[in-house]
Amino acid sequence: MKINADDYRKLNPGERILMGPGPSNVPSRVLQAMAAPCIGHLDPYFLSIMNDVQELLRYLFQTNNPLTIPISGTGSAGMETCLVNLVESGDEVVVCVNGVFGTRMADIVNRIGGKLIRVDAEWGRTIDPEAVQKIVSDCTPKVIAVVHAETSTGVCQPLEDLAHIAHDAGALFLVDTVTSLGGMDVALDRTKIDAAYSGTQKCISCPPGLSPISLSEGAIDALEQRKTPVVSWYLDMSMVRDYWGDERKYHHTAPINMIYGFREALRIIAEESLERRFERHRLNHRALVAGIEIMGLSMLVPESERLPMLNAVCIPDGVDDIKIRKALLNDFDIEIGGGLGEFAGRIWRVGLMGHTSHPRNVLLFLSALETLLKAENFKVQPGALDAAAAVYQER
């Protein structure tokens, strides 16, 4: 087979404003860090980078957990890592399901032979702790798992009551923080979360490719007391931790340049401080919602249950979902997400994550959406930009 290299265009994806459910826009500093020379995964300099990453990641997770590392894989790899390391065949696992990503955890539990016990709630609403308590009273769960920030619906799940229920039952508390970490308070030690995983591509604003995880002493004890080997060799933390620990025992070749970029993204977060970063996400969320509601549109999730970084906007009757999203991308270089599952064609998922969470993006999106809705003959109420600006002026 012969090919002509000239037949393949030079890579040029163009600029996008990434306002979907992920990835988010990546700061130039992170991209520059990723372009640094690749060195060996056991090179002394790279080992020092690994130390930096662990310290900065503990700061972000707000924990002293020694096993706090990035997994070589996307957020779904982190999900699978936590479950395959903590759950053995026959273990009872309570999974809270109110969206797509709760169903994925449930699927993994079934695949690895755990005894799945689901607590379901309406999509677009939070899980009721009383429903969890009722279920837990009739079983002996090893793990209770929940999604903190349900990316498919924009719901923010309160964690404190569920953490108490888990620990009172003698269970480990596992939390999906893929969309929340870096954009809102995820305090593992204070909330008493035993296992958490996330992804680099959302509020951390690093390209997709790594999944930060953190395991408490209780979770590590459960790993060490397993009766059977972890079913995944690649994700077996009893081995991977030796590479990230003092022994630096070879397990797999780490994605060197991705970890460069991740370290820089974590440095940017530390420079801003967690408090200012969380406030920035809340502020831009409030401005976006103010503009959306003035237009005459509505939000899917009640105000008290909304995420600040993932906004589910109900699509008005008569408005073509795909046509609007295509026009946003083609005419304004703005990417937003459509609905998943039962919300396909019913909501737009508008992300304000990490580097993307900025007033200029809020105002540009509101202006672009208003223009496109008018072209669809939707009766847009005036004043969206003024409403958003008023929120910023309040600050």
Same domain, 230 and 254: yes
Same domain, 189 and 232: yes
Note the helical H segments in 44-118: 44-61, 75-86, 100-111
Percent of the chain at pLDDT above 90? 95
Which tokens hold the place of 20?
Answer: 């979907």
Which whole number is the average pLDDT over 23-30? Answer: 98
- Order of strands across the sheet that contains 195-197: 67-72, 210-215, 195-197, 172-176, 143-147, 92-97, 115-120
In a domain, 232, yes or no: yes
Among 271, 306, 324, residue at a domain's last position: 271
How many domains in the chain?
A: 2
Among 218, 242, 271, residue at a domain's last position: 271
Radius of gyration of the chain measured on its C-alpha atoms:
22
Model confidence band, residue 7 (pLDDT cutoffs 50, 70, 90): confident
Same domain, 100 and 240: yes
Give the whole-angstrom CA distance, residue 385 versus residue 292: 9
Same domain, 257 and 278: no
Give the whole-angstrom CA distance, residue 195 versus residue 91: 16
In a domain, 10, yes or no: no
Same domain, 120 and 211: yes
In a domain, 40, yes or no: yes
In a domain, 3, yes or no: no
Same domain, 264 and 348: no
pLDDT in tens, 80-90: 999 999 999 99
Same domain, 81 and 67: yes
In a domain, 355, yes or no: yes
CATH number at residue 217: 3.40.640.10
Model confidence band, residue 204 (pLDDT cutoffs 50, 70, 90): very high
pTM greater than the 0.85 cutoff = yes
pLDDT in tens, 289-324: 999 999 999 999 999 999 999 999 999 999 999 999
Same domain, 255 and 301: no
Q: Phi and psi for 145 in degrees, rounded to 5?
A: -120, 140
- Inform me whether the pLDDT recorded for 9 exceeds 90: no
Which residues form the domain of 298? 274-394
Sign of CA dihedral 90, 77, 276, 280: negative
The helix (H) or strand (E) run that includes residue 241 is helix 237-244
In a domain, 7, yes or no: no
Give the whole-angstrom CA distance, residue 139 versus residue 158: 23
pLDDT of residue 3: 86
Among 227, 255, 271, residue at a domain's last position: 271
In a domain, 17, yes or no: no
Q: Which residues contact 82 (CB under 8 A, 6 or more apart)?
A: 174, 195, 196, 197, 213, 215
Same domain, 299 and 191: no
Same domain, 130 and 262: yes
Model confidence band, residue 1 (pLDDT cutoffs 50, 70, 90): confident
pLDDT of residue 24: 98
pLDDT in tens, 53-82: 999 999 999 999 999 999 999 999 999 999
Same domain, 301 and 220: no
pLDDT of residue 376: 92
CB contact at 8 A, 213 and 80 = no
Same domain, 58 and 171: yes
